[in-house]
Structure 1
Amino acid sequence: MSTYTENESKFMRKARENPFVPVGLAGFFAIVGYRLFKMKSRGDTKMSVHLIHMRVAAQGFVVGAMTLGVLYTMYRDYIVKPREQKAVENK
């Protein structure tokens, strides 16, 4: 069974565990929205090329947010927690 309460959504639980999830989603939708807005002034660029650029930019932002999330988790698990454990052992 799940460990979260009925009032708490899965998204909110994931966002608390990894704060870069909402950042990645927000960036993805911001880039897609901006590129869709700029579509009318794309000039001579073909539609397929414009859509490919939009997809690559959005995916790049999400991959960057995921990388930051992994680095944050590694920092929290391997640097902060051992320090806290040493502090408790020394008391």
Structure 2
Amino acid sequence: MAGTPAVPEQTAKASTPAFVPFDFSQPPLIDGFNPSPKAKDDTFKEKFIRKTKENPFVPIGCLGTAGMLIYGLRAFHQGKTRHSQLLMRGRIFAQGFTVFAIIVGVFTTALKPKQ
């Protein structure tokens, strides 16, 4: 047996392709579920306006946070430490307001009846 060369085993190739359980080019079919067709893709501007109308407090909070941050950094740069500290505390309040507005908006959207 020592003199016989080792021959690698040959595997039989399947003539048919392997079974694919899902077609990834299409969404899955689920009994009792009919996905609503999407009318069209919104542009950034259209989506921003729609979301602002749904929950106007989030952009207000974001603008307030950014404004407080900019003015606080400007006051810090000018050496007005007391004014800078007050604006940084105001920024934290504005951030909390924004997070609260986001949470309220999510719950409002979740509780809104589907049309």
| TM-score, normalised with respect to structure 2 | 0.41
Query: Greater helix share, 1 or 2?
Result: 1
Q: Mark the structure with the bigger radius of gyration.
A: 2
